[in-house]
């Protein structure tokens, strides 16, 4: 059974899933969920290495004597797990989620030495993700030297953004060098649009998608194509996130530099010490913050309220660009599981005709696609659990088939 192995390598986790071929149509894979899926936790120095298969209990892995071998141990565990649960699978390629393709890659591509060099040059634009994405590629190239390694980019879904959406008010020379808005979470938005076409007659209209998780962004689509998004040049822009600041006056950065902060300190602050974590002083996890706020923690309540306010503000901006909203979709860890955030967003967009079915919203817990709008709502509201791996697998199959 020919299959694509999809890898999403991060700083602390390695997510994986196997997607089998289905039919003869380019890019067509089985409609059922991926199998041999899960993740390895504890890749960070000092972490606890564990294999966490989907739908099964975690299994502790042997700790390597050398910290530099943690990734090798993780890969060996993935290979062993896939061989055990899918012995008939024939892996024909590895597809990698890569956050930033910059101006170089607008579509999936084979990851040869030239591609790796160009993608490495984009590391400053996505320091939380790009180095780990590429470390995963290097490790898989070494482990499977005969297999095609295919990069699938979060920026690709936004490749055809309108000119004005991509521009900063900076000199033309900088724009020509690639200092422009790109947009992210593209694999997730691609998947959401695919699902929406199958369940809503309005999918070709004005769609506002909210990917809300540790990373968070909004995307406005028309006719299934991205026309506006909250993230820009880097994955810092737009919404407040788990530990990232979101939109920030660049004057703050200049001020910190004048105060003696180093570039590394500012980067640490903006990417890892801000957002829900920074405001609350407690956690980047919305679930924990909800419990703390219910127990009377004022900083947790402020963090939640600010997250909701920033979401409302950005959603209003994208709705204005779209000229209204026909469909609102929530996805990502918070978007799929946190009914209170969805309810707050719906209340804020009531002026656009959004009316939520409270019972349906409370019942939606991220375990499936669900319609959340009331019968009288002028805007459809959906929750769609995302599957970035499926989009990466589809893209990899399509690239292999066209070759």
388 annotated ligand binder = yes
C-beta separation of 39 from 389 below 8 A: no
In order of 114, 123, 126, the CA distances from 117 in angstroms are: 5, 11, 15
Give me 251's structure tokens: 């004057």
Does 193 belong to an annotated binding site? Answer: no
The answer on whether 165 is annotated among ligand-binding residues is no
Query: Which of 316, 318, 323, 325 minimizes the C-alpha distance to 203?
Result: 325
The Cα 343–Cα 304 span in angstroms is: 13
Cα 344 off chain centre by: 22
Question: Taking Cα atoms as reference points, which of 366, 369, 271, 368 lies closest to residue 327?
Answer: 369
CA distance 40 to 13: 5
Task: Tell whether 285 is in a known binding site.
Answer: yes
Residue 275, marked binder: no
- Cβ atoms within 10 Å, residue 360: 16
Is residue 215 part of an annotated ligand binding site?
yes
Which H helix or E strand runs over 310? helix 298-322
> Which two structure tokens, joined as six digits, stand for 368?
């499936």
Active-site choice (2, 60, 66, 154): 154
Q: Is 333 annotated as a binding residue?
A: yes
Residue 60 assigned ligand-binding role: no
Q: Is 15 annotated as a binding residue?
A: yes
Strand locations in 247-349 (E): 327-331
Is 288 annotated to bind ligand?
Answer: no
The alpha carbon of 132 is separated from its chain's Cα centroid by a whole number of angstroms, namely 14
Answer whether 325's CB lies under 8 Å from 206's CB: yes
**What is the token pair recorded at 172?**
């033309």
50 is in an annotated binding site: no
278 a known binding residue? Answer: no
Known binding residue 8? Answer is yes
Q: For residue 213, say whether it is annotated as part of any ligand binding site.
A: yes
- Residue 113 is a catalytic residue: no
Tokens 């309540």 map to which residue?
A: 301
The 8-class DSSP code of residue 68 comes to G
Binding-site annotation, residues for Mg(2+) = 8, 388
Catalytic residue positions, numbered:
154
Binding-site annotation, residues for ATP = 15, 211-215, 285-287, 333-337
Binding-site annotation, residues for substrate = 97
Binding-site annotation, residues = 8, 15, 97, 211-215, 285-287, 333-337, 388
């Amino acid at each position: 059974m020919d299959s694509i192995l999809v890898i999403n390598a991060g700083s602390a986790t390695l997510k994986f899933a196997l997607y089998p071929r289905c039919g003869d149509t380019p890019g067509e894979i089985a409609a059922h969920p991926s199998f041999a899926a899960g993740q390895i936790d504890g890749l960070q120095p000092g972490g606890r290495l564990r294999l966490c298969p989907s739908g099964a209990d975690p299994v502790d892995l042997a700790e390597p004597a050398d910290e530099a071998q943690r990734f090798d141990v993780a890969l060996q565990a993935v290979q062993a797990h896939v061989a055990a649960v899918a012995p008939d699978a024939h892996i024909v390629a590895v597809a990698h989620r890569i956050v930033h393709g910059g101006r170089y890659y607008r579509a999936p591509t084979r990851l040869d030495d030239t591609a790796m060099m160009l993608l490495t040059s984009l590391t400053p634009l996505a320091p939380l993700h790009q180095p780990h994405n590429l470390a995963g590629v290097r490790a898989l190239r070494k482990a499977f030297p005969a297999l095609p390694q295919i990069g699938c980019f979060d920026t690709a879904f936004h490749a055809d953004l309108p000119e004005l959406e991509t521009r900063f008010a900076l000199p033309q020379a900088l724009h020509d060098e690639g200092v422009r808005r790109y947009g992210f979470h593209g694999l997730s938005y691609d998947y959401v649009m695919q699902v929406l076409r199958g369940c809503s007659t309005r999918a070709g209209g004005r769609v506002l998608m909210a990917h809300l998780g540790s990373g968070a962004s909004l995307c406005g689509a028309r006719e299934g194509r991205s026309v506006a998004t909250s993230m820009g040049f880097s994955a810092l822009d737009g919404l407040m996130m788990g530990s990232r600041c979101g939109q920030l006056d660049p004057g703050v950065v200049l001020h910190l530099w004048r105060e003696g902060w180093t570039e590394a300190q500012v980067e640490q602050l903006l990417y890892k010490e801000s957002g829900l974590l920074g405001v609350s002083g407690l956690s980047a996890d919305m679930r924990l913050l909800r419990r703390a706020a219910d127990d009377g923690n004022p900083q947790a309540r402020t963090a939640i309220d600010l997250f909701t306010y920033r979401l409302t503000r950005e959603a209003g901006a994208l709705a204005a660009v779209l000229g209204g909203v026909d469909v609102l979709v929530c996805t990502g860890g918070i978007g799929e599981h946190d009914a209170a955030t969805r309810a707050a967003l719906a209340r804020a967009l009531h002026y656009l005709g959004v009316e939520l079915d409270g019972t349906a919203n409370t019942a939606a817990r991220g375990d499936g696609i669900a319609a959340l709008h009331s019968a009288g709502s002028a805007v459809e509201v959906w929750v769609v659990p995302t599957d970035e791996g499926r989009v990466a697998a589809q893209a990899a199959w399509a690239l292999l088939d066209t070759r």
